[in-house]
Amino acid sequence: MSKDMFDYSDLDAILAEFRGDTAASSGEPSPSPAVREPAEEIPVPAAREIPPAEEPVPPEEPEAPAPAQDASEATVLFDFSSLDSRFAQSSREAEEPEEGEDLPAAEPAHEKKRLFGKKPRAEKAPKPEKAPKTPRPGKEPKPQKPPRVYRKRRIPWALRALLSLLFIALTLVILAWVLLYLHPASGSLAFSGTDTKLRLSDKLDVYVNNAASDALGELAYIRKIYTLQESLTVAPRPDPGGFGTTYDPADIEALINRASILLDGQRMIFDPSADFVPDEPIRYYFDDTILVIAWKEYIEQRCCTFAEVKVAHGSQLRRKLAEDSYSSSVQLYASDMANASNAVVAMNGDFYAFRDLGITAYQRKLYRNNPAQVDSCFFTASGDMLFSRAGELMGEGEVERFMEDNDVVFAVAFGPILVDNGELQYCASYPIGEINTEYSRSCIAMTDELHYLLMTINHTPDARPRATINELARIIYSKNVRKAYTLDGGQTAEIIMMGGPINHVDFGYERAVSDIIYFATAVPEEVRS
């Protein structure tokens, strides 16, 4: 906006004229603006609109300066608040309606801006509401669909209970691992001799399986998995009602049918048509975790004693040392150690205290490493048999890494290896065992997963021949085993079941030894009772 829009000199003249008229009509001097009463304010007519100058004043004819004014007049000239009150008074008087006249609409607040040349915005008219659509003639309106009802699907209570138990079991397993750092396959093997436990994956499988069995109850049968801690020196006592004897092979066939769940499709080695030794009973034991069938038969005119074993878990294959300590000066009869450990069936070990060759390990700790001359056999936590031939593993660190990588629990050293990966092994010479002389022999073999065969060939009262190492290998190989390994022979070659040796021991009595290998039930006694 141009500064020339308002001519303040004309405004001064108008104000002076008003002051003069007021003084003349009253005959009193005009009071000072500072002491004038509000009631005596002179109404000012509505301000006329002063058009802006059409063209600027030429510079050669400047406008004459306004005459000098005193201080009181200057104050009145620029007192815009007084001016506004006068304009408002005159506007109210001009807009006051007479009696009976309709009141005009209230002036909007933004109307005052017109004094400064701004045009107010026009208010937008509200949009008219849309009329509802009318259906076309002859066309029926579509019926409204009823609201869809969503029903919450309920999970069956049995499944919910199963899932809850599985979650609790998994939580407990994870918590146990965090608290105990459970991982026997890691770190040094020295710690394992005191309180070694099963691998985390095995324990998880056990917990999940048993939780599912408990949850389903009578709805579905899931066989529980029981395990034994490696550090235990005494296994659960077998059920006396699980033992039995018979002379009829048909009874054993019926027992095998009862054990079909435990066998899980595996075929038994026991042959009802075998050449059984007359007047010798067939012994057996069976529960949910172990099946043992022991018999004697003639093979190549030799008296062979067999014990076929199927277990549910690898922890049931165990080793016991005399006084449960390595290098004990005490030696015990194999039958005494078997009874003390609650073995279902047992056989002699390698008699490690009688010689210092090979690799000896017990409860995951390596005690002797002298593998240059003899083969060694390692037994893993899963129940597998692994072989190391003479000279293959030499350094102590190499042996410990092998044990750690393969989760080895214990190892025995005698040999030689008889069958490996289903192939018969021939041995021409060996530093121990007098392999080319007929002696009483013993060996342990593996036919399938968690399925084993124990065998001895012994001297008999009727002077039947015994066997060389290669004859022993040929006979055990004829039973379709995948792996077989020689244990200590002679007078220590024996299989113990139902309290004592079931084979004829040389000289008619046992020899004290340092260790045995045995199989135990995993069913807790409190569960059975």
d(CA 125, CA 198): 85
Q: Which helix (H) or strand (E) holds 207?
A: helix 200-216
pLDDT tens sequence for the chain (529 residues) = 444 454 555 566 666 665 655 444 444 444 444 444 444 454 544 544 545 545 555 555 545 544 444 444 444 444 555 555 554 555 555 455 555 445 444 545 444 444 444 555 655 666 666 666 666 666 566 666 666 665 656 667 777 788 888 888 888 877 766 555 433 332 223 333 333 444 555 555 655 656 555 554 554 445 677 999 999 999 999 999 999 999 999 999 999 999 999 999 999 999 999 999 999 999 999 999 999 999 999 999 999 999 999 999 999 999 999 999 998 889 999 999 999 999 999 999 999 988 889 999 999 999 999 999 999 999 999 999 999 999 998 889 999 999 999 999 999 999 999 999 999 999 999 999 999 999 999 999 999 999 999 999 998 888 899 999 999 999 999 999 999 999 999 999 999 999 999 999 999 999 999 999 999 999 998 887 6
Q: H helices within 332-460, ranges in order?
A: 334-340, 396-406
Structure confidence by residue, pLDDT tens digits, 274-327: 999 999 999 999 999 999 999 999 999 999 999 999 999 999 999 999 999 998
Strand blocks (E) in 181-325: 243-246, 282-287, 290-299, 302-311, 317-321
Lookup: tokens for 381:
């936590």
Nearest of 377, 409, 400 to residue 202 by alpha carbon: 409
pTM of the model: 0.62
Of 306, 345, 346, which Cα lies nearest the Cα of 475? 306
Under a CB-based contact definition with an 8 Å cutoff, are residues 465 and 439 in contact? no
- CB 269, CB 310: distance < 8 Å: no
Task: Please state the φ and ψ torsions of residue 483, each to the nearest 5 degrees.
Answer: -140, 150
* Confidence (pLDDT) at 77: 44
- Tell me whether residue 518 is exposed, middle or buried, using C-beta atoms within 10 angstroms of its C-beta: 0 to 12, 13 to 18, 19 or more: buried
pLDDT on residue 418: 98
The pLDDT tens digits of the residues spanning 246-265 come to 999 999 999 999 999 999 99
pLDDT at 308: 98
Q: What is the pLDDT of residue 426?
A: 96
Strand partners, 456: 305, 442
Residue 82's pLDDT is what?
A: 53
Tens-digit pLDDT profile for residues 2-58: 444 545 555 666 666 656 554 444 444 444 444 444 444 545 445 445 455 455 555
pLDDT at 234: 95
